[in-house]
Amino acid sequence: MVEEERKYEVEPGFTVPDLSGCLPDGGRLVQQPAVKLTATYYDTPDLRLARAGVSLRHRVGDSKPWTVKLPADAPGVRHEISRSGKRGKPPTELVWLVTAYSRGVELTPAATVRTVRTVLELRDADDALLVELADDAVSVLDGKTVRSRFREVEIELKAAKRSLLDRVEADLVAAGAAAGGFTPKHVRALAAAAAGPADLPAVEGLPAEPTAADVVTRAVRDGVARILAHDPLVRLHAPVGDDDTAVHQMRVGCRRLRSDLRTFRALVDREWAGALRDELKWVAGVLGGARDAEVLRDRLRRTAGADPLAPLPSAAVELIDTTLADRQAAALAEVDAALRSDRYVALVEMLVHAAREPRLTEAASGPAADVLPRLVAKPWRRLAFGGSGVDGAADLTLDASDERWHAVRINGKKARYAVDAVAPVIGGGAAKLAKALSKVQNLLGEHQDAAVAAETWQGVLAEHPDDHELAVTVGRLVERERAAIRAARAEFAAAWERASAGQRTKWLP
């Protein structure tokens, strides 16, 4: 579950203002009786969770007493996951859920807080809960002794628009609540030790005149952050937004980081980078099965519905989708097993250390603008001119095999990642080339997706050779996929001409 909340530090004598002016017509304020909550927070001995903005707690009285809270992209928005379980033993699922932060270190009680909570509900004329305000008087416990006390107010968005939350906030601030820079209960309870920096460094901007080391370091940190941020969501089999998945984003993070380490191989320690690339290849491969099933199921829906005037038999389409769903479930089970392995925990440790201190060579100390272009030239030339039996992009013909087009796609992805990595520094033509290569890669990706889909539909038919309706449906699906392949090939030449134009590539040596 994703929750959006805002918290405020208040003085002990703070009075919650009258919020009736925030309500829509016919709305009402509902005051709930005070309740007492006792929460125990679990963490590693060096408080890795707290320092990363993550919490795992057991709270007495909740129907699902164990809760993990994970940071999300937007301020004030968090992923909240609650589970049942016995007191004193965190559920295994939640322990694994925070692996990207704990890195396998045992979680033990770190802080206990007792809260007397008074809830004020803002409801509309239909009695729908719009916003919930919690006024908390908090005591930090050391055994049975109260070590410190403080008070805070929290407002959580329920069925309202964000503008209502803004109006409530304005009234609270006017009454003396302190907004911004809020410190969570358990972090305040744990004091300075929990307020230190997270083990994973933040991805920061580049200096005005970066060295190659600056660019490599930023690329590594960006890749690691992308992988580890999606780790918990992959374990939850969760979507990312309306049209993406955590499996996809984590896999992209693995592949992009592998590509960056290859592009910058002259600037990084060879043995260190090789070991990291090997493990990233393993994880990307495990994620690949689940991602392929995602793509195919989505494509099946789009291809089957491409012509509303010529619908395909729903039973046959459903049979194909059920086959893919079974494959997806099996692939996700493999992902779950891999992410719970000692090998993966060791990789997480490697990734965190790589982000903190990437192992660079002396060559990385030079100015980025001088060092980086020649590193991109090799993957660019391989894409443009081919080699080792692979066509160059300009050599592709409309009648070339799907396999030859796919080989160019692989080189295209490597070239695009390489250009993306240096474009923020080189600017100008490099930024334009990155944008143009994105279009090239989209066409090659569509080509490959259609080719794989056609082969998959035929494979499902091979499992049901006597199903006449399925045979007709597969034939029509394959026909539509081949039409998509022809369309991608027809657009490719113009897209490649734009990408290879002189103003986009003259910065390359």
Distance of CA 157 to the CA centre of its chain: 23
Q: Are 140 and 113 in contact (CB under 8 A)?
A: yes
- CA angle 215/220/225 to nearest 5° reads 125
In this prediction, residue 420 carries a pLDDT of 93
In this prediction, residue 181 carries a pLDDT of 65
Each of the 509 residues of the chain gets a pLDDT tens digit; together they read 677 889 999 998 999 999 999 999 999 999 999 999 999 999 999 999 999 999 999 999 889 999 999 987 766 678 899 999 999 999 999 999 999 999 999 999 999 999 999 999 999 999 999 999 999 999 999 888 999 999 999 999 999 899 999 999 999 999 999 986 667 888 888 988 888 899 999 999 999 999 999 999 999 999 999 999 999 999 999 888 778 999 999 999 999 999 999 999 999 999 999 999 999 999 999 999 999 999 999 999 999 999 999 999 999 999 999 999 999 999 999 999 999 999 999 999 999 999 999 999 999 999 999 999 999 999 999 999 998 889 999 899 999 999 999 999 999 999 999 999 999 999 888 999 999 999 999 999 999 999 999 999 999 999 999 999 999 999 999 999 999 999 999 999 999 999 999 889 999 98
Rounded to an integer, what distance in angstroms lies between the CA atom of residue 500 and that of residue 415? 12
Angle between helix 270-304 and helix 428-463 axes, rounded to 10 deg: 60
Number of other CB atoms surrounding residue 466 within 10 Å: 6
